[in-house]
Structures are given as C-alpha cells and as structure tokens.
Chain A
Amino acid sequence: MIALLLRDLRLATRAGGGFGLGVAFFLILSALVPFGVGPDRATLAPVAPGILWVGALLACLLSLDRLFALDHEDGSLDLLATAPLPLEGTVAIKALAHWITTGLPLVLAAPLFGVLLQLPGQAMPWLVVSLAVGTPALSMLGAFGAALTVGLRRGGLLLSLLVLPLYIPTLIFGAEITRRGAEGQATATPLLFLAGITLGVLALIPWAAAAALRVNLR
C-alpha cells in the first residue's frame, strides 16, 4: 500500500503529473473573482469564504478524471485488482495520494488566496482548519465518482455532474465555518458536522468505490 502511495506521488511530481495545477487554478480563480464583482473590500470580504470553498471544490475536481482513468488505460488497474491488495485499500490510497497532491497544497496556500479576496484576518485559521478537515472528503467522494465513470469515453463531464451534488454538505459546513470565523462567532457546531461527514465518507465510500471499480473492470 505504501508502495502504491509512493508511486502515485512520484508520478504526480514527474513531468506531466500535474502536481500543483490545482493551486494554480485556485490562484487564477481568486484573481478572476475581483474582476467580476469589483475590488471593494466591502464586496469581496463577505463572499470570500464561499468563493474560496467553491474554488477548492473545483480545483479538486480538475484532476479527478485521471484518478483511475490512466491506470485503466495502461492496464495497471487490472493488475492492481489481481494484486493481494484489497481494492478498497487501493481506492483509499489513491484518494489519499489525490489529497496530498491537490487538497494539501490548497490547505497550505489558502491563507494567501484569503488575502487576495480580503478575507478578515481572524477567519484565516478557520479557513485553513475547515479546508484541512473537509478536503479529504472531497478527494474520497471524487474517487467514488471516478470509479463510477472510469470506463467511459466522455467521463469527465459526467464525473462533475455526479460528484458535485455529493459535495454540497461539505461545502455548506466548510463555508459556514469560515463565515462564522470571519464574524467572530462560535464555529464548533459546523466544525463537528464537517468532521462527522468527512469521517463517515472516509469509512464508507471506499467500499462503494471499490464495488463500482469491480463492475467497471469486468
């Protein structure tokens, strides 16, 4: 399992792997929003939590269609399915690799984008915490969507259609934490909800995703 994680990370950092593309996308989004809604601090600050979270969702979505598709094309997925690793474990590891290459950089870079969008300073820690707690669920749900669409020719668009509705609860609680943080309110309740969703997703989705993969492999 460690070997698979290391391989995926190594592939992501080598040429054509697309490591950091998510962050670049996030940066562009944060730069574009002020052009759309105007540069005023008064306009930007209230929408910043939402924009940042929606940006994180979309950045996460960018690299999802390649999560299993590449392994499917070159036959690795067949071989992994016959390996002693349980397919559920393979799914979990690939989702973890996806999180390390897209989710984690987002978490770390988020304060920078918060500054661009005039997010109040007191909300920064909450933005980082909410992203750190919420993005693992995004990667795992994305892995489920990628497993559903792995054999399809036009899988990319369908993948977004299937995955984005699943992101709604995470988005709601994640943005709520950041918004409450900005307004100096208590954040414990949405944070607990968000953590609960993430833990539930991490515990249960690997089985659903592995079932979908098995169907698509046969």
Chain B
Amino acid sequence: MSIWKYANPAQFMRTTDGLLPWLVGAAAICCTAGVVWGFLTPDDFRQGSTVKIVFLHVPAAMMAINIWVMMLIASLIWIIRRHHVSALAAKAAAPIGAVMTLIALATGAIWGQPMWGTWWEWDPRLTSFLILFLFYVGYIALWSAVEDPDSAADLTGVLCLVGSVFALLSRYAVLFWNQGLHQGASLSVQSGERMSHVYRYPLYLAMLGFFLLFLALLLIRTRTEIRRRRLAALQAREMRA
C-alpha cells in the first residue's frame, strides 16, 4: 500500500468522508480558541491593542504562501504522475489561497493605518503579497477560461510552475527595489526570543486553526469538484447512449 492509493477518486472520497467532520470541528475549535485567546492577551507596550490583529494576519499570510507551495506540489504530481485528484486539489486550493492573501493584505492595512500612518506602503512584503495575489487571480482565471478539463489542468499546471519561479524572482527583485518598513518575521527560529510567550502560544493555536481550516475547505472543495466531474462524465455518457 502506498500513499498513491488515495489518488484514486473513489478511495479519496471514502477516506475524506469520515475525516471531514473531525477536521471541520477541529478547525472551528482551534480558530475560535486561538483568536479569542489572542484577544484576551494584554496590550503590547508599544503597539497597544492593535497588536491583536496579528492573530489573524500572521496565520493568513503563512497560509497564503503555503497554499501556493501546495498548489505547486499538486501541479507537479499531476504533470508527472497524472493523478486527476491532484489537479483538482490544486484548482480547489487556489481561491482559498487568494482569499488568505486578501485577508493578510486587509488586516495588514487595518493595522498599518494607526501604526505606520498609512493604509498602504510599497514595502517589499506588502508588494510581494500583492504580486502573489495577482498570480492567484491569473491561475484562477486560466482554469475558468479553458473549457476542456484535460487542457485546463495541463495549462494551469505549466502556469503554476512558471508562476512559482517568477513569484520567487519578484520577491527578491522587490527587495532590491525598496527596503521596507515591515518588521522581520514574527516567528523565527534563528533569532530566538522576539515575541513574548503571552502572544506566542495563542498565535501557534491560531496558525494551527488556519491550517486545519484550509485543509477542511480544501477537502470540501475537492470533493465538490470530483462530484462535478462525475456528474459531467455521467451526463456525457447519457447523451451518447
């Protein structure tokens, strides 16, 4: 038994069917607990109460990047091993990623207004996220524009590959272009203690919550896509019979 058995649509549906309620429940608990706990933390001595938006901002930003990475891996699996579920998972993940990027940008703007005195700054991190959002939009648009599902899966796969390279390239080009205002990573392994424990544990919980939320949404969306394909295939057979 290898991991590839889950690439079989029927097996995938069976497995996720049992998994989904637990996942949705866990995601709801972790998200709520993380954000509420985050809200009950004391005010930061410099940033005041505005710091609390971090419990939405950081997990969303983290997922925005990781979802693209997941789409890249799923696209590679589709291109190399031709597992249909993989292509659909990449398709299902894109809108979630786009929304996560939007949440990160919006919460950043709301936080930035009182802290930096501006809604928007052409800071490398902000700019990179805007670019990432553009890549998500292009990817989603290409999926919806191509009618033949095989071609759509192949074309978006190629776009995801090339897009990944250019998203990374843009990230460093933007760094070169403008050194920014944005603070360094909130959580970092090398830099040691940067954030108090008071904030760190609720943040971990919120991040876990967002990850579970993504997983649950991804499974729901992938299952919907699979059902749509099955319906289309059955209708096509019906028409011909």
Chain A positions near chain B (C-beta within 8 angstroms): 144, 148-149, 151-152, 154-155, 158, 161-162, 164-166, 168-169, 172-173, 176, 190, 193, 197, 205, 208, 211-212, 215-216, 218
Contacts and interface: CB of A to CB of B under 8 A. Distances in A.
B161 interface: yes
Contact of B155 (A154, A193, A197, A216): A216
Given A161-B137, A165-B138, A168-B131, A193 B173 contact: yes
B146 A162 contact: no
Contacts of B169: 169, 197
Contacts of A161: 134, 137-138, 141
A215 B154 contact: yes
Looking at chain B, what size class is its interface with the partner chain? 20 to 34
B116 to A, nearest CB: 23
B75 to A, nearest CB: 12
Given A149-B145, A161-B138, A165-B131, A144 B173 contact: no
B142 interface: yes
A166 B146 contact: no
Most chain A CB inside 10 Å of its own CB: which residue of B142, B154, B163, B169:
B169
A5 to B, nearest CB: 25
Interface string B155-172: 100110111001001100
A160 to B, nearest CB: 10
B176 A165 contact: no
B135 interface: yes
A14 B171 CA distance: 42
Contacts of A211: 154, 158
B159 A162 contact: yes
Given A161-B141, A162-B138, A166-B166, A193 B176 contact: yes
B186 interface: no
Nearest to B136: A165
21 contacts: A149-B145, A151-B151, A152-B145, A154-B145, A158-B141, A161-B134, A162-B159, A165-B131, A165-B135, A168-B170, A168-B173, A169-B169, A169-B173, A172-B177, A176-B176, A197-B169, A208-B161, A208-B162, A211-B158, A212-B158, A215-B155
- Which label, helix, strand, loop or mixed, suits the secondary structure of the A interface? helix
B35 interface: no
A14 to B, nearest CB: 32
A144 B141 CA distance: 16
Contacts of B151: 151, 215-216, 218
A173 B169 CA distance: 11
A105 to B, nearest CB: 26
B234 to A, nearest CB: 24
B174 interface: yes
Nearest to A189: B176
Contacts of B154: 211-212, 215
B35 to A, nearest CB: 32
A172 B173 contact: yes
Contacts of B137: 161
Contacts of A197: 169
Nearest to B175: A172
B176 A205 contact: no
B106 to A, nearest CB: 20
Across the A-B interface, give the 6 residue pairs with the lowest CB-CB distance, nearest first: A169-B173, A165-B134, A215-B154, A172-B173, A162-B138, A168-B170
Nearest to A194: B173
B170 A169 contact: yes
A162 B83 CA distance: 25
Contacts of A215: 151, 154-155, 158
Interface in B67-107: none
A152 B176 contact: no
B155 A212 contact: yes
A205 B169 CA distance: 15
A124 B154 CA distance: 43
Given A165-B135, A173-B176, A176-B176, 12 more contacts: A148-B142, A151-B151, A162-B141, A162-B142, A166-B163, A166-B166, A168-B131, A172-B173, A172-B174, A197-B169, A212-B158, A215-B151
